[in-house]
Amino acid sequence: MAEQIILEVVKKLLEISPKRNFSESVDLAINLKYLDMNQPKNRVDEEVILPHGLGKELKIGVFAKGDVGLKAKAAGAAYVISEDELEELAADKNRARTLANECDLFIAETQFMPTIGKNLGIVFGPRGKMPIPLLPNKDVGELIQSKKNAVKLRSKDRLTFHVAVGMRDMNPEDLAENIETVVARLERILDKGKHNLRSVYVTTTMGKSEKVM
């Protein structure tokens, strides 16, 4: 859909939503139709790179050792978890839960994945925080940078789901382009494209909502 139309909706939303004394996120509420969500093939599970990012610094945890760990730290990883620390987390589920809640996402060298799955899957899995595997031919710094601008579109078995598209203090033009990127991806991946979209609303954390489509 036309980005100019989205821009006008975003501007109106920001006008009518009172400012708060904390940093509000801007989210989309996506409502689907004509889909049997009991069928896994109809569920949305996509990663989208937002052209202007989320407007905030994501906390990324990286399970790595040696040079990869050093590169991850240099690239802005909030936490680098070594092999010894992984064993400690496996033995202390409360500490593992705290880490899972603090980080927005995790990356792990492939050799760590079996241990993480066996010992921390029960903590990370339900939170949608299972690590992204770092393949041997991939650069951890590049992966971290790309994930900082990425969001997950995940409907599970529901016709309605939400996704963050930025922060209130971002430029309306940047928010509009982020929204257009998400909607365009949905139209490409849904079985009947835009005909599977009942409605899309944009809202701030504690503000009003406005219909995008």
Domains of the chain in sequence order = 3-54+150-211 (3.30.190.20), 60-147 (3.40.50.790)
Residues 6+ apart with CB under 8 A from 61: 77, 78, 79, 80, 81, 99, 102, 103, 105, 106, 107, 131
- Chain center to CA of 92: 27
Q: What pLDDT score does 192 carry?
A: 95
pLDDT at residue 109, as a whole number = 96
Question: Which segments in the chain show pLDDT lower than 70?
Answer: 1-2
Considering the entire predicted model, what is its pTM? 0.76
**pLDDT score of 114:** 95
Backbone angles phi and psi of 108, in degrees to 5: -145, 140
Closest Cα to residue 77, out of 62, 90, 98, 88? 62
How many alpha carbons lie under 13 Å from residue 137 in its C-beta half-sphere? Answer: 0
Q: In the prediction, which pLDDT does 130 show?
A: 93
Give tens-digit pLDDT for 6-37: 999 999 998 888 888 778 899 999 999 999 99
Phi and psi at residue 42, in whole multiples of 5°? -90, -5
Model pLDDT, residue 2 = 65
Q: List CB contacts of 91: < 8 A, sequence separation 6 or more.
A: none
Closest CA to 51 of 151, 142, 134: 151
Give me the pLDDT at residue 138, please: 92
